[in-house]
Amino acid sequence: MNTRRDFLQKMGASALMLQLSSISAFADTPDLIEQPYEGKVLRVAIMGLGGYGTRVAEAMKACNKAKLVGVISGTPSKVKDWQAKYSIPETNCYHYENFDQVKNNPDIDAIYVTTPNALHHNQVIRIAKAGKHVICEKPMALNAREGQEMVNACKKANVKLLVGYRMHFEPRTLEVIRMRNAGDFGKIMFFQGQCGFKIGDPTQWRLNKALAGGGSMMDIGIYAINGARYMIGEEPVWVTAQETKTDPVKFKEGVDETIQFQLGFPGGAVASCLSSYNINHLDRFFMSGDKGFAEMQPSTGYGPIKGRTHQGELTQPITTHQTVQMDEMASIIFEGKKPVVAVDGEEGLRDLKIIDAIYEAVRTGKKIKLTA
């Protein structure tokens, strides 16, 4: 292909010099040129080579500050496939019985846990004892008790525990938070979070209470909980909740199909949210204040996120969430960067406490008070 060469050869000398002069002037403005990253790179092993682990691996190809260097899986064939696809050395491959040996591997800095929810607690604690930083998918654990034990283990081992809250780095989400902090919406009075889709294969682990810890609430309801917190900017002080189940065969005991829940906040705002495994086309956040509003739809999907406020459409850049997340988490681990919205273990624990309260409210029919 000589297209560019032919083009340059056909250009007049003066035009070429003008172009080169413009490039030179542009280069003299360092803020306008993205400099190649030369800092420390976070070397990551992914634990759990399923659908989401694959999504993270693909997104990391575009990272500047993070790199996929290892895998942990219970399926040997997946390990071999990933080795070939991502050029992973044999020395960085582990299975669930022997991954504690990662403590002797200086080529891995952190492990990203993308296994089923019920496995997180034990795996994160083992990773901490091996002296590696942990990134854990949400929900961080099955309940707040497990979450607290994970936080304690990582603190004791002096390693970071981060949670895969990719929306905390999404540009349009951050713009809404910036506007709220600037007072553009005035006093926040109401939030609505709708998260739902019709789940498929009835044999999958997400519909197995022993592995998932629940149903739609654990998988997607957590987005509405977390979204209410970061959009309103406060921690809820009470919760009420109701469950609807139309298919007890598919959604067995302990696996919620649809839960409606309400949150109350100290500033007077209320949130009305819905989480469902049996209703399609639910991925919407809406927030109203006495001076304006914000609406996001889709609000938490893999993208593109779309939204508008009383000032107009949100036009911030569309990003690959996991790429930005991993680069930002590298900065948190190595540079001590403070994100706009926390992604640490304590943040994950706050959501787990609310989930515990929602399930208690469903069980008892009572308003449950929340404590810090």
- Phi, psi (degrees; rounded to nearest 5) at 261: -145, 155
Alpha-carbon dihedral angle through residues 44, 120, 247, 355, given to the nearest 10 degrees = -110
Which residue has tokens 């993205």? 34
Kindly tell me the burial class for residue 273, based on how many C-beta atoms sit within 10 Å of its own C-beta (0-12, 13-18, 19 or more). Answer: buried
Contact 110, 86 (CB under 8 A): no
The CB density around residue 286, as the number of other CB atoms within 10 Å, is 18
Question: How far is 136 from 118, CA to CA, in rounded Å?
Answer: 12
Question: How far is 302 from 55, CA to CA, in rounded Å?
Answer: 10
223 is catalytic: yes
Contact 72, 85 (CB under 8 A): no
Contact 192, 286 (CB under 8 A): yes
Q: How many CA atoms lie within 13 A of 37 on its CB side?
A: 13
252 is catalytic: no
Catalytic residue from among 65, 132, 138, 353:
138
What angle do helix axes 171-181 and 222-232 make, rounded to 10 degrees?
40
Please spell the DSSP secondary structure of 259-325, one letter per residue: EEEEEE-TTS-EEEEEEESS--SEEEEEEEESS-EEEESSSSSSS---EEETTEE--PPP--HHHHH
Catalytic residue from among 94, 112, 223, 359:
223
The CB density around residue 234, as the number of other CB atoms within 10 Å, is 17
Where b means 16+ CB within 10 Å and e means fewer, 144-169 reads bebbbebbebbeebebbbbbbbbbbb
The CB density around residue 292, as the number of other CB atoms within 10 Å, is 16
Which among 338, 339, 301, 347 is positioned nearest to 320, based on CA atoms?
301
Measured in whole angstroms, how far is the alpha carbon of residue 50 from the centre of its chain?
16
Active site residue ranges: 138, 223
